[in-house]
Amino acid sequence: MKELLEYLARALVDKPDAVRVEVIESEKSLILQLHVDPEDVGKVIGKQGRIAKALRTVVKASAAKEGLKAIVEIVD
């Protein structure tokens, strides 16, 4: 999940080196905190949150396939 989110975020931002994903694990869910450069926040959120919503949907589907719940948080 971590690699997937990192891959997607790096392909969307101007400063891929600043992309970092922290994983907080609990019993049955994963919280994925996506850190990007402050100037890139808009790129991973998109107009009306379109990109952020798509990132969440794709990561959730991928996690669900492995029986996990995943929550994506965007942090700058």
Partner 1 sequence: MSKATETEAETTEEAIGAALEELGAERDQVEVEILEEPNKGLLGLRKARARVRVTVLDGEDVAKTAVEGLLAKMGVDGTVTTHRDGDELWLTIGGDSLAWLIGHHGYTLDALQVLVQAMVSRQIKSPARLVLDIEDYRARRKREIKSLAERTIGTVLARNEAISMRPMNAYERKIVHLVVGEYEGVASISTGVDPNRFVIITPA
Q: How far is the CB of 75 from partner 1 (least distance, A)?
A: 19
Residues 6+ apart with CB under 8 A from 11: none
Q: How far is the CB of 36 from partner 1 (least distance, A)?
A: 14
Q: How many other CB atoms are found less than 10 A from the CB of residue 3?
A: 8
Residues in contact with partner 1 by CB under 8 A are 3-4, 7-8, 11-12, 46, 50-51, 53-55, 57-58, 61-62, 64-65
Report how far Cα 45 is from the mean position of its chain's Cα atoms. 10
Residue 24 or 61 having the CB closest to partner 1: 61
